[in-house]
Structures are given as C-alpha cells and as structure tokens.
Structure 1
Amino acid sequence: MVEINRRNPKQARARATVDAILEAAFQVLDSDGYAKFTTSRIAKRAGVSIGTLYQYFDDRDAILVELSRRYSDALREKITQLLLDEPNMSTVRLIIRAAMQGVQGSPETQLILSNVVFQSQGGKEVSRQHFTFMESFGQREEFGFGLGKEASFILTHTVIYLLRATIAEPELELDPKILEDELVHLMESYIANLAERAGYVDGQPPLK
C-alpha cells in the first residue's frame, strides 16, 4: 500500500479547513447520529471536496478521535474559566458544574465522544482529568487540609464516572440542577468526613 503523506495544517487556510471539517462533523454527529456519520456527509456539510477531507483525515474514526480530544479539552477550559469567573463558588460545585456544562451536543453525542476519549486514550485521559481537577483544588484553600492521593483518587474518579453514567442513561431524565446539588452534597460530605478524620474543625487544624 502506498503511504499517503498527510498535510500538516500549519497555514491559516489549512487550519481553517480543518476547523470547518470538524465543525461540520460535530453537526452531522449531533443532528444525524453515528449511523449517518460518514465522510461524504461531513465533506458536504463543510463545503469541501471528499479529496480535501482525506488530505487531513484518514477516515471518520480519525475525525471522531480529534472531536473527542477537543471535547476533553473543552472540559478543562471550562474549569479554568469558572475558576476565574466564580471565585466565591465552592471548588466542588465549580468542577461538577464545569463537567456538566463543559461540552455542547445531545446526550447521545456526548456519550459517543466520551466513549471515543476512553477508547482512544483510556486511563491516560482519566488521569489527565484527575490532575486537572486536583490542580483546581490546589488553587483554592477552602479545605484547610491536604488531600491524600487515595482520597483524591476517590474524589475525582467518582465525579468522572458518575457523570459518564449520567450521559449513558438519558432515559432516567435526571434534573440537571438537582443532580448537581446531589453530587455536590456527596462530594462535600466525603470531604467533611476527611476533615473530621484529620482532626480539623471548621477548617481549622487540630490543636497540638
């Protein structure tokens, strides 16, 4: 098989073409579903030839992987933005809200992209999200005590996997506002228990 040299989108026009293809791909996925997520539909929606599309992506799976990467990056950007916009919001609520609102699209679209993230990057991506969450915690001093790596693991992975389950089960018709509150109560209860076990009272360190 002849190896095709894929064009590296360095030039502004090339980057604009890639962005147009990815935006069209998201629209096709969100409106038509995965069954109709084809390169021909994407190229038509983007206003480019199928040959142009293949200059940048090998197939629809390659497009999905790039969409999933942007999906994951959007979550981290949302957390960073909320840290700046909502300095008085609890870190737990901030992270949960960012995770719930960080991406666009239907529950089906979010589930597809989330699955691709895990299939293409697996535990590596969960770890990236974990460290993003922990960095957010580290920027705020509301807890008054350090979180051990085991407690940090439980705290962040509970959020990640519960929200994945939420996306995977839209038939439950969970109320987003109530769900946010319940997740916050769950996480803050765990943190309060950690503080109690560490001997902290009202955020103050134990007396020596």
Structure 2
Amino acid sequence: MPEKTRRTPRQGRAEATVAAIFDATFQLLEAEGLDCLTTNRIAQRAGVSIGTLYQYFSGKSAILAAMAQARAEAARSRIAETLIAAPQLGSVRPIVQALMTTFEGTPETRKVLLDALFAAGGDAVMLHHHQAFLAAIAGRAELQLDLSPESLFVLTHAVAGLLRAAAAEPDLSLSPAVLEDEFVLLMESYLSALIARGRSG
C-alpha cells in the first residue's frame, strides 16, 4: 500500500495543507513534467514551508503515491454510489467513466500517477480498489452472478492493465469516447457471458 502521510490530516487546517500540496504537485506536473518536480518547488507553489511539507510526506514519491491513492479512493466511492443507485448491468458505463477519470490531466500526468500507485503497492492496489464494485456486482440477487477468484482476476486486471497501457501510450492518440465504448463492451460482454454460464451450469 502507498506510504502513509507522516501526520494524519484530521483537522481542517491539516487537510487544507495536504490539499494544497496535492494541487501544487498536479499543477507542476501539468506545466513542467516529472523531471522538474521537486519538494522545494511543490512547497513554494503550495505556499507552505519545506519543513511543513516534510511533516506530512517523506518526499516526492510519497506525495505522488498519496495523490494517486486519494484519487483512486474517490473513484471507488463514485462507483459504489453508482451501483447503489442503479444496480443493473446498464450501470457499467458510469463505472467505466469513473475509472477513466480517476486520474485527470495530460497523458503524461496520468502515467506518473498510475506509476506511483503501482510502485507503492503493486498490482494488489488496483485489485483492492476494484473489488468494491466487483463485490457489489457479485452480490446482486437479480443477476445471480457469482464471481470466482479467477473471474475477479481476469476482469480486474483486464481493466487495470488497459487503463495503464492507454496512459503509457499517448502517441496512439486514442479517442477517449471510443475507448470508453470499448471498455463498456469488454465489461458487459464478459459479465453477460459469466451470467449465461452460471444459468446453464
């Protein structure tokens, strides 16, 4: 799992400081890229002292990992809300949209954050965040869908792997709208096949 912040941002002031650090980091990534990103520049852009920054994070890698973790958790919350509001197969598209917008910004920024997420916790991090909606899908009585560990692995890693590959290959100039349609087709087709197999078994 990503490295925890050194000080838990429970109070409003601390939360605001961490948010400012995240915003500054994102702005610098967008403007200048990872090579120019330093803790000194982050602190300056965030309007905090370097000492304050180090009270919360051990360094640049820890900031990036925490940013990625926070964005992944936000996406997971959106997915859970989607499933609660519309627990049908048609809710796959909002799930895909939440996954595709987990990391905003340029392809380079998205790649940096995805790399930070995987570097901090490996593939298990993405699996952990997707299990929330996978578990909800599996528990829907009307679908009677029982996802085995193998099915969970295939579905989760297919989505995670393709998202990561898309971020890593900006030169392909993939259309986000078309890619969204393809993700929906992939997930719906696989889930439909699992449902059909379960009914015939």
Q: Under a length normalisation based on structure 1, what TM-score does the superposition of the two structures give? A: 0.81
Deviation, structure 1 residue 48:
1.6
Aligned residues: 196
Which has the larger helix fraction?
2
Cα pair distance change 1:147/1:11, threshold 3 Å? closer
Deviation, structure 1 residue 42:
0.9
Cα pair distance change 1:50/1:184, threshold 3 Å? same
Cα pair distance change 1:21/1:149, threshold 3 Å? same
Aligned residue in 1 for 2:136: 136
Superposed CA offset, 1:13-56 (max 9, x none): 23322221222112112222101111121111111222222232
3-state secondary structure, aligned to 1:198: helix
Aligned residue in 1 for 2:196: 196
Alignment check: 8 A CA contact 1:21 1:46 kept: yes
Aligned residue in 2 for 1:122: 122
Cα pair distance change 1:109/1:56, threshold 3 Å? same
Q: Under a length normalisation based on structure 2, what TM-score does the superposition of the two structures give? A: 0.83
Deviation, structure 1 residue 140:
4.1
Aligned residue in 2 for 1:75: 75
Cα pair distance change 1:44/1:155, threshold 3 Å? same
Alignment of 1:10-25 (within 5 A): 10-25=10-25
- Cα distance in 2 for partners of 1:7, 1:144 equals 44
The amino acid across from 1:23 in the alignment is D
Aligned residue in 2 for 1:41: 41
Question: For the aligned residues, what is the CA RMSD?
Answer: 2.4
Deviation, structure 1 residue 112:
0.8
Deviation, structure 1 residue 85:
5.7
* Larger relative contact order, structure 1 or 2 (CA cutoff 8 Å, min sep 6): 2
Cα pair distance change 1:179/1:128, threshold 3 Å? same
- The percentage of counterpart residues that share the same residue type is 44
Q: Say which one has the larger Rg.
A: 1
The amino acid across from 2:117 in the alignment is V
User: Which range moves more in the overlay, 158-167 or 22-31?
Assistant: 22-31
Deviation, structure 1 residue 84:
5.0
Alignment check: 8 A CA contact 1:96 1:180 kept: yes
Unaligned stretches of 5+ residues in structure 1: 1-5, 201-205
Alignment check: 8 A CA contact 2:75 2:98 kept: yes
The amino acid across from 2:143 in the alignment is F
Deviation, structure 1 residue 90:
1.6
